[in-house]
Amino acid sequence: MAIKKYKSTTNGRRNMTTIDYSAVLTTKNTPEKSLVVSKNSKAGRNNRGLITTRHKGGGHKQKYRIIDFKRNKRDIFGTISTIEYDPNRNAFICLINYVDGEKRYILFAKGMQVGLKVVAGENADIKVGNAAPLKIFLKEL
């Protein structure tokens, strides 16, 4: 991952670094519509509309991306098509196109790139992006 360093023009900028998004993200700007749902912004208000938590609210409108944490599509290969930024969890995510036509998001790991083949299941190799159940590793102990 590329890190962008800033010049120390002020005291607050001294030693400041951020992630260079252009080095990580692909050129596609819009998320997959079938994996996105709308997210209501509460802005710190309760059901009566009264402020119950101060200093909340504002910010850019966000859509919630549905992430596949279970990885329950066993022994079906998928290809990483895009790498995107998820503003809800401040992380990068990958869009996977499976052989059977389904699309899912997974969390991005260092070493993934567009075109990488990933698989989840008991026979999955130990590589970046693959997922295997823990019971396989516990048998060896």
For the residues 40-61, what does the mean pLDDT come to? 85
Alpha-carbon distance 100 to 97, whole Å? 8
Cβ neighbour number for residue 67 with a 10 Å cutoff: 17
Cβ neighbour number for residue 89 with a 10 Å cutoff: 12
Pairing of strands 63-65, 117-118: unpaired
pLDDT for position 1: 58
In the chain, the domains with their CATH numbers are 25-40+66-139 (2.40.50.140)
139: DSSP letter = H
For 27, counting Cβ atoms within 10 Å of its Cβ (0-12 exposed, 13-18 middle, 19+ buried), the class is exposed
pLDDT for position 24: 77
User: Which tens digit of pLDDT belongs to each residue from 1-50?
Assistant: 578 899 999 998 999 998 887 777 876 778 888 898 888 877 888 889 89
User: Which tens digit of pLDDT belongs to each residue from 122-137?
Assistant: 888 889 989 888 887 7
* β-bridge partners, 118: 78
